[in-house]
Amino acid sequence: MRDGAIFAKAGLPAVAIVTELFATQAEFVARAAGIPALPRYVLPHPCSGTGDENLTRVAREAVPGIIDLLEGREL
Amino acid sequence: MTLSATRHQAPDEATALEDFHGREWTDGLPVVIPTEERVEAVLAAEATDPDVIIGTIEPGGGQATVEKIAINAVMAGCLPEHFPVVLAAVRAVCDPDFDINNVQSTTHAMGPVIIVNGPAREVCGPIVSGTGALGPGHRANASIGRALRLVLMNIGGARPVHGDMASLGQPGKFTCCLAEAEEASPWPPLHTAFGYDADQSAVTLVGVDSPHSVMHNTSADDPEAPERILRVVAASIANAGANNTQIGNGPVIVALNPLHAAVLAAAGLSREAVCERLANMAVVPQSVLQDVRVRRRVADGDANGDLPTLRGPGDIVLIVAGDPGMYSAVFSAGLAGSTLPVHAAIDFAFSCELPAPQSA
């Protein structure tokens, strides 16, 4: 989230990618960083350790939404 | 003295305490209600203006003023004479080298350990270095460590699920403060390694896992005793589940009990030499790497296939603490290559007699 905030403050399109478990923390950090509306894309949790097949599926499903957010469209 | 904090009213302290719990201003345990009188008494221990900002504490980004730190110190149960150590500890965690944002936010069970050196151990305490120094029963140790934790939670926003993502956490995150047993140590005090004079006082803070007991029943008849101590401590640093085994590059604390330290010193080893030896010995054999499947590090092994867990002796903060006997301890590393040990001077030039404590 903090990396996303740094990019956004630098004027670059930014999307923070977090898993569900970190969604509340993401909200907190975005507010603390002064960008409460910082775009974020929430992945299922856990991703890590779920195997290449599942990770590939999660990535394929996530990419269009991440591009939408980067281009300023709401999900 | 003018305080900036918002005043809250309650009919009695029991009601106030429930209000504090309800607002999530506590660590889950009861706190001392920070009345104006109690906060002023703690502030009297410091010449610093209450509005002075010591630093910003991430991930919440709250500004740690001297007054806010004093409020949390009162809540933790600190006496006025403890406050200079709390202030120094907060100053230390605000050092960018400590990387407080990651220390607070990580899923690992790490937290800051406060090590106190110099005359402040008595003047601002007593802060215990011996029997059960990290266990319950020592007021200054418990209160000072808890004050830092409350600062990290209330100013830094380190609430579980919000700013603190520790998967399980560990009880050392409630409080973790001890003094070095300088009088029982064969070596110069830890803080002199950072450039302080022995008669100055300083805190050293390290972000680490909880202490892991290291047992060695030494014998005066055993010529191999120094090597055996080094081996068991090194193996404890490089245990299979440690972050440093899996990822590497984090600082660790080695707390040698005075007997183990004396055995090593009698073998001609200085503090620096012990750290040097341990850094070379704390390696993970290739077989263990394969067993636990540390894929990313297998290729980093040396010619024997052994993988160092430390970057060098500078990754070891070596202190002497606890009772002389069988038990020393290793605090495993937290973050990989992010947090570094930090230190800060303790200023306790009390200009007047401190007011009597305001009991809860």
Instruction: Dump pLDDT digits (tens) for B208-258.
Output: 999 999 999 988 889 999 999 999 999 999 998 888 888 878 999 999 999
Q: Are A50 and A11 in contact (CB under 8 A)?
A: no
Q: Are B185 and B320 in contact (CB under 8 A)?
A: yes
- Average of pLDDT values for B106-127? 96
Q: Are A43 and A17 in contact (CB under 8 A)?
A: yes
Sign of CA dihedral B36, B37, B42, B46: positive
| CA-derived radius of gyration, chain B | 21
The residue assigned the tokens 């090597």 is: B227
B11-40 per-position pLDDT tens digit: 999 999 999 999 999 999 999 999 999 999
Our CA dihedral for B63, B341, B187, B131, rounded to 10 degrees, sits at: 70
Q: Are B340 and B251 in contact (CB under 8 A)?
A: yes
Respond yes or no on whether the N-terminal peptide bond of residue B355 is cis (omega within 30° of 0). Answer: no
Judged by CB atoms closer than 8 Å, whether chains meet at B162 and A33 is answered as: no
The pLDDT confidence band at residue B354, using thresholds 50, 70 and 90, is low
Give the side-chain half-sphere CA count within 13 A for B303.
0
**Residue B352 clears pLDDT 60, i.e. is over it:** no
Judged by CB atoms closer than 8 Å, whether chains meet at B157 and A32 is answered as: yes
Range in B104-108, B286-290, B354-358 the model is least confident about: B354-358
Chain B residues with CB within 8 Å of chain A CB: 58-61, 101, 105, 157, 161-163, 165
Judged by CB atoms closer than 8 Å, whether chains meet at A24 and B61 is answered as: no
Of B328, B341, B337, give the one whose Cα is nearest residue B106: B337
Sign of CA dihedral B84, B89, B92, B93: negative
Cβ neighbours of B285 (radius 10 Å):
14
**Where does residue A3 rank: exposed (0-12), middle (13-18), buried (19+ CB within 10 A)?**
exposed
Judged by CB atoms closer than 8 Å, whether chains meet at A32 and B58 is answered as: yes
The pLDDT confidence band at residue B335, using thresholds 50, 70 and 90, is confident
What integer pLDDT is reported at residue A2 of this predicted model? 85
**Where does residue B244 rank: exposed (0-12), middle (13-18), buried (19+ CB within 10 A)?**
buried
* Chain center to CA of B221: 35
Judged by CB atoms closer than 8 Å, whether chains meet at A29 and B163 is answered as: yes
Nearest by CB to A32, from B59, B161, B165: name it: B59
Nearest by CB to B61, from A21, A22, A32: name it: A32
Residue of higher predicted confidence among B344 and B292: B344
Cβ neighbours of A16 (radius 10 Å):
23
* Chain center to CA of B248: 20
Give the side-chain half-sphere CA count within 13 A for B233.
32
List CB contacts (< 8 A) between A33 and chain B: 61
Nearest by CB to B157, from A2, A22, A28: name it: A28
Distance from C-alpha of B130 to C-alpha of B132, rounded to nearest angstrom: 6
Among left, alpha and beta (phi > 0; psi -120 to 50; other), residue A4 is alpha
List CB contacts (< 8 A) between A32 and chain B: 58-61, 157, 163
B260-296 per-position pLDDT tens digit: 999 999 999 999 999 999 999 999 887 777 777 665 5
